[in-house]
Structure 1
């Protein structure tokens, strides 16, 4: 069924919904667009690679594919990772960079957010950490910072 609008009626009838995996880094919650997530695996041995930035922890072998793994905490300027039983590596599939793993403290849940529940961030945010955030989602009274995966995985802003 398609709704027809009268001329001059500018209201948007259909709200778009997006699914995010909510992760924890320290005390903060972040959302990752589920469309970019290929896999979530338990923490495993990471082989160090010499002469790479500190946030690049090394590589893992996942079903015969060698994937780079980065510390999301270090990339965002937070304290180093504390590996626990809840620590996970999220494998992201990105168009420009291919597959990359990111280390997160915990994977919490999947949430669905409508466009009305997401506030976009202004682009002129001076703080470096803010450039990794595209917006803030509101879910059950909590705020979830939505990650900009392209700016996080690009190596230029190391």
Structure 2
């Protein structure tokens, strides 16, 4: 595994800083750059929206703002699990659009320095790392650092909330 610190410091790649919100899905630990996190909320009522992938659970209304909701467990191909009192929605904002990520639990905010981050292995034959930005190491754990921009802009997520989806959501939520 190669460590390329310049990749993590290049503001064009994702404006990586050293602070991450960590969360768990199943037994794995993940991290997203704290710069994208706008809030963390408990589970909310989610209104389904037609013609979206199964991991897009729908939309929710957070204080008058329509937020698309993605179940990270399903997005990563993990089996469905009932939501419980630890299930949380992490609201991220990218380019003015808010998206909620349903995760099993939020852990903590950590500083992970660039020299503690390795590029992910080349799992994909075309060299595309998908939504994995790197692997962050701390004394206790390894965190899968997600590329927020790729996660939210991936064509499979179809998270560009068009006027039509927003109108459906507003009608359903009154």
- TM-score (structure 2 length as normaliser): 0.74
Identify unmatched segments of 5+ residues in structure 2.
Answer: 1-8, 10-15, 158-174
> 2:53 touches 2:156 (CA, 8 Å); kept in 1?
no
**Which residue is 1:78 aligned to?**
78
**Which residue is 1:88 aligned to?**
88
Please provide the CA RMSD for this pair: 2.5
> 2:133 touches 2:145 (CA, 8 Å); kept in 1?
yes
**Which residue is 1:6 aligned to?**
none
> 1:125 touches 1:131 (CA, 8 Å); kept in 2?
no
- TM-score (structure 1 length as normaliser): 0.81
The structure number with the bigger radius of gyration is: 1
1:4-153 aligned at under 5 Å gives the runs: 18-95=18-95, 98-121=97-120, 124-126=122-124, 130-153=129-152
SS of aligned partner of 1:131: coil
Q: What is the CA-CA distance between 1:130 and the residue it aligns to?
A: 4.9
After TM superposition, which residue ranges in structure 1, 4 or more long, deviate above 2 angstroms?
Answer: 127-130
The structure where helix makes up a greater share of residues is 2
The structure where strand makes up a greater share of residues is 1
Q: What is the CA-CA distance between 1:157 and the residue it aligns to?
A: 3.3
Cα 1:27–1:134 shift into 2, 3 Å:
same
